[in-house]
């Protein structure tokens, strides 16, 4: 049985509880982070902590503890659960005001802090990296502050199910004719030596993997263009891919039934995936 962390305690998962009045449960009033673990080490932990602080600040929530404490909890859970490859999930909510009320509770209401691990042996060897993903496009019906990593994941979850129903792996969301991002990842196309991905703003989450991959791409003399693109442009591109902490760099070979490029994972994406995994492993803590 897994050991999880709840508000200062390490507990067997069956004994870990959160109040029914928790704002995360009643209002989706919480933020989260997912940090991947490779060879027992955390990938880009400082990036995830920095984004957590930004999400908390945008939600007017205080940090639950220091960054050193957060790192210690991550490491303790990885150790106690003997995670070789997998992830650590962290969630902070506005806590338990003891009742349901639309108004935020007093600022001194203690936040709820929950962390747990998921073991994913061989996570870097996913068969999808060889076959590539198929995606459908759907309308982006989420709220307007997607730059904050909140736990309001109902629409992305519904999007994932729409993709599965269509025999595909994921959905790319479209707003005003342009791709925003995948259900839980950032979206990219490759045209020649150029990587095109939507610019940062309120429409998408600033992916920690995105930041790293764009840096590695520039270092490898690829051109990076941060701008919106359409589904038609993506279908006509040479290659396409997504990035996230749990998928790393993953090729997309079909969009709405149309093959991208050769319909097979291409060399640019394969190279980016290799560089990303190598560099991330090297910098893992
Ligand atoms: N999701 N966009 C959305 C909407 C996401 O939910 C995620 C991550 C990303 C990629 O961010 P990063 O590279 O920092 O993982 C982009 C995580 C993995 C999840 O919900 O499980």
Count of CB atoms within 10 A of residue 109's CB? Answer: 16
- The domain locations on the chain are 3-121, 128-283
pLDDT in tens, 164-204: 999 999 999 999 999 999 999 999 999 999 999 999 999 99
What pLDDT does 37 receive?
Answer: 98
Catalytic residue among 41, 120, 134, 149: 149
Beta strands 170-175 and 133-139: pairing type?
Answer: parallel
C-beta 35 within 6 A of ligand 1 = no
What pLDDT does 29 receive?
Answer: 98
pLDDT in tens, 83-141: 999 999 999 999 999 999 999 999 999 999 999 999 999 999 999 999 999 999 999 99
Residue 134 is among the residues annotated as catalytic for this protein: no
Query: CB–CB of 43/37 below 8 Å?
Result: yes
Cα(174)–Cα(131) distance, integer angstroms: 24
Q: What CATH number is given for 3-121 in this structure? A: 3.30.470.10
Query: CB–CB of 206/147 below 8 Å?
Result: yes
The atom of ligand 1 lying closest to the CA of 245 is 15
Residue 248 is classified by DSSP as E
Name the pLDDT band for 41 (thresholds 50, 70, 90).
very high
Cα(251)–Cα(130) distance, integer angstroms: 8
Mutate to test the pocket of ligand 1, among 42, 126, 138, 184 (most ligand atoms within 8 A of CB): 184
- Beta strands across the sheet bearing 9-12: 9-12, 3-6, 112-119, 86-93, 30-38, 41-42
Q: Which residues of 199-234 are buried (b: 16+ CB within 10 A; e: fewer)?
A: eeeebbbbbbbbbbbbebbeeeebeeeeebbebeeb
Mutate to test the pocket of ligand 1, among 36, 171, 185 (most ligand atoms within 8 A of CB): 185
Report CA torsion sign: 77, 154, 259, 235. Answer: negative
The residues near 11 (Cβ < 8 Å, ≥ 6 apart) are 3, 4, 5
pLDDT in tens, 78-87: 999 999 999 9
The rounded Å distance from CA 18 to ligand 1 centre is: 24
Q: Residue 250, by phi and psi: left (phi above 0), alpha (psi -120 to 50) or beta?
A: beta
pLDDT in tens, 131-146: 999 999 999 999 999 9
How much is the average pLDDT of 16-32? 98
pTM of the entire predicted model: 0.97
Cα(96)–Cα(111) distance, integer angstroms: 7
Count of CB atoms within 10 A of residue 120's CB? Answer: 17
What pLDDT does 284 receive?
Answer: 97
Closest C-alpha residue for ligand 1 atom 6: 184
Query: CB–CB of 181/173 below 8 Å?
Result: yes
pLDDT in tens, 223-274: 999 999 999 999 999 999 999 999 999 999 999 999 999 999 999 999 999 9
Question: Fold identical between 3-121 and 128-283?
Answer: no
Cα(82)–Cα(89) distance, integer angstroms: 15
The rounded Å distance from CA 245 to ligand 1 centre is: 7
Q: What CATH number is given for 128-283 in this structure? A: 3.20.10.10
């Amino acid at each position: 049985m897994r050991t999880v962390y709840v508000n200062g305690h390490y507990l067997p998962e069956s004994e870990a509880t959160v109040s029914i009045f928790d704002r995360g449960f009643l209002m989706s009033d919480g933020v989260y982070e997912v940090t991947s673990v490779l060879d027992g080490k955390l990938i880009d932990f400082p990036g995830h902590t920095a984004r957590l602080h930004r999400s908390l600040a945008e939600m007017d929530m205080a940090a639950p503890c220091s960054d050193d404490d957060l790192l210690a909890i991550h490491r303790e859970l990885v150790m106690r659960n003997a995670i070789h490859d997998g992830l650590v999930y962290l969630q902070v909510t506005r806590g338990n005001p003891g009742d349901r009320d639309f108004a935020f509770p007093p600022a001194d209401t203690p936040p709820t802090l929950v962390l747990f691990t998921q073991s994913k042996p061989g996570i870097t060897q996913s068969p999808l990296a060889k076959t590539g993903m198929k995606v459908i496009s759907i309308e982006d019906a989420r709220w307007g502050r997607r730059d904050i990593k909140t736990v309001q994941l109902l629409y992305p979850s519904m999007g994932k199910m729409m993709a599965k129903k269509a025999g595909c792996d994921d959905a790319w969301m479209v707003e005003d004719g342009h791709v925003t991002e995948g259900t839980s990842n950032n979206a990219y196309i490759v045209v020649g030596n150029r990587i095109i991905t939507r610019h940062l703003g309120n429409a998408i989450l600033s992916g920690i993997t995105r930041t790293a991959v764009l840096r590695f791409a520039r270092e490898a003399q690829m051109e990076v263009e941060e701008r919106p693109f359409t589904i038609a442009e993506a279908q006509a591109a040479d290659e396409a891919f997504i990035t996230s902490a749990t998928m790393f760099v993953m090729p997309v070979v079909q969009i709405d039934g149309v093959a991208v490029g050769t319909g097979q994972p291409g060399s640019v994406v394969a190279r980016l995936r290799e560089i990303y995994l190598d560099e991330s492993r090297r910098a893992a803590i």
